[in-house]
Amino acid sequence: MERALKGVSAAPGVAFGAAVVLDRVGAGEASIIVASERAAELGRALKALDVVARELEHIVSGLREAGRIAEADIVETGVLMAADPGLTARVEALVMTSGRPAAEALREAADESAQALAQLADPVLSERADDVRSLGRRAAARANGFRPGTVSGVLIATTLGPADVAELATNAKGVALAGGGVTAHAAIVARSLGVPMVVGLGADVLDLVDGEEVVLDGDGGLLVRHPEPGRVAAARAEAERRHGARRQAIAHRLEPAQTKDGRRIRVLANAASVAEVNEALQQGAEGVGLLRTELLFLDAQAWPAFAEQASFLSLILAPLTGRIATVRLLDFGGDKTPPFLRGAAGRGIELQLESPDALRSQLAAIVDAGINVKLRILIPMVTSSEQVRAVREMLATVLAGRPSPQVGAMIETPEAAHRAAEIARECDFLSLGTNDLTQLVLGLDREQSKSAPVANVKVLRLIDATMRAARDARIAVDVCGEAASDAAAMPIMVGLGVDELSVAAARVGEVRSWVRGLDYAACREISERRLLSQPADTAG
């Protein structure tokens, strides 16, 4: 008999596969290692820690070879944590005295250390809590025999961090979490990788038997145990359709994204992890049009320091050598508010300009990490040209005479769209944030709203005004909001004259093929008709 567990859809797609249970509740009582096998189990646990330490060491030596000493030092703290005698003693006690399996002992010991660190008043040390947890999770996965990219079933866990999803889920069929939220970074990474994900399934999901075959329905927010043959067949067909689309995208990655009548559109990717960058490049992305840096620091207890940012950024930018990499300044605020900014008013650049030292550190980290890419710096939530000038002035002090990367403004507030002409004069490019723009123009609540009616004429008129301002200033415009990969909205954006579309990594190939199927002249006609319509005539 089928049994469906109900959760919340976090990334679309349907998958059929064997459950790979990473976490268990109450497993302590269920699986106690017998005394005679504990020494071997401890050996497995310590070996897993050692393997993870060596993986991190490999990253460290790569960074040192590249002369990135500060970043190497940061990653090296993970190596030291893996060898921390306190951690290994606790793992030993959990396995030898309590008979805990290796993976659980590793996770539990790391969680305890993380909790202790999180209590510390020193923000630098308390921030390391997540690193220890992540180390524990990595080592537990290794103890269970998982290597990055080798898991091929449906991953089941309590929660996963974005790095865990990026690392473990690249070959997985889906991810099912007992906890988690749809806006969690892990969900953003899953969506971007095209891996179906359901969250909020409750602790029952952790009772699944390893290897049991399930259907994960990322569209309906369900995990179905003992699925009936009809459901399995439908899931298989849907997964095959998605894989086919991806294979097509990869096969056509070298074909230019050009309309039938010859208009070239550059298709770039939105990303926040190395896995997303790699996926986007495989699908033919010409670079990154939006690197959402704030997603790396949503748990921060203070403005992220230079070295920490440089370390993350250089890892993400490494595959982009020689290509466009558009790094957005931290867009904190709204639903992306880290603990240290709770209660602060403002959003995006407004918040950063209130903390000039933090802005300087971020600019320095971006410039440093972006040495081998065609770097563009993007300013979020701009409302005036003074803000762009302030960033440029700070950037000049950081550069100290070195050539400047391009600087662009997000046009995602009605104020910015109204002042597009003066903002464009200060910029090398503009980027339309249709997600925020649509919600703000139409007075919707982005966290609640289920739709973004970008084709509403009030929104289109602001986009059109932005396009005209950019043309007058002879600078390029891209769309990096969801409208760029929306089948109905994207041709209108092309018709309005956008030069670039920046879309989720998993959508790059599809959007490139859409461009090849378009007729620019026809798109222009559609967008002109839309602009002339009255608000009530327009969809949304």
450/9 Cα distance (integer angstroms): 13
- Least distance (Å) between residue 438 CB and ligand PEP: 8
Site membership for ligand PEP, residue 486 (CB under 6 A): no
Catalytic residue list contains 523: no
Applying CB under 6 A, among 41, 127, 276, 412 the residue interacting with ligand PEP is 412
Element (H, E) at 256: none
- Backbone phi and psi for residue 16, each to the nearest 5 degrees, phi listed first: -120, 130
How does DSSP classify residue 67?
A: T
Segment contacting ligand PEP by CB under 6 A, of 27-35, 135-143, 181-189, 428-436: 428-436
* Residue nearer to Mg ion on the CB measure, 74 or 416: 416
Exactly one of 162, 433, 495, 497 binds Mg ion (CB under 5 A); that residue is 433
Sign of CA dihedral 244, 248, 249, 250: positive
Pick one of ligand PEP, Mg ion, none as the site partner of residue 434 (Cβ within 5 to 8 A by kind): ligand PEP
How many residues bind ligand PEP, per CB under 6 A?
10
434 binds ligand PEP (CB under 6 A): yes
Least gap, CB of 149 to ligand PEP (angstroms): 27
At its nearest, how many Å lie between ligand PEP and the CB of residue 433? Answer: 3
185 is catalytic: yes
Residue 159 binds which one of ligand PEP, Mg ion, none, with CB within 5 to 8 A depending on kind? none
Residues 194, 242 contacting (CB under 8 angstroms):
yes
- Interface mask toward ligand PEP for 320-359; x: CB under 6 A: -----------x----------------------------
CA angle 305, 309, 315 (to 5 degrees): 155
Question: Rounded to an integer, what distance in angstroms lies between the CA atom of residue 90 and that of residue 96?
Answer: 10
Q: Cβ of residue 456: shortest distance to ligand PEP, in angstroms?
A: 15
Closest CB to ligand PEP among 17 and 481?
Answer: 481
Q: Are strands 266-271 and 222-225 parallel, antiparallel or unpaired?
A: unpaired
Measured CA to CA in angstroms, residue 13 lies from 155, 158, 219 at distances of: 15, 21, 6
Question: With respect to ligand PEP, which residue has the nearer C-beta, 157 or 277?
Answer: 277
Burial class (CB in 10 A: 0-12, 13-18, 19+), 318: middle
Q: Is the dihedral of CA 351, 355, 359, 361 positive or negative?
A: negative
User: 275, 189 in Cβ contact below 8 A?
Assistant: yes
Contact residues toward ligand PEP (CB under 6 A) are 290, 292, 331, 412, 433-436, 480-481
Active-site positions? 185, 480
Contact residues toward Mg ion (CB under 5 A) are 412, 433, 436
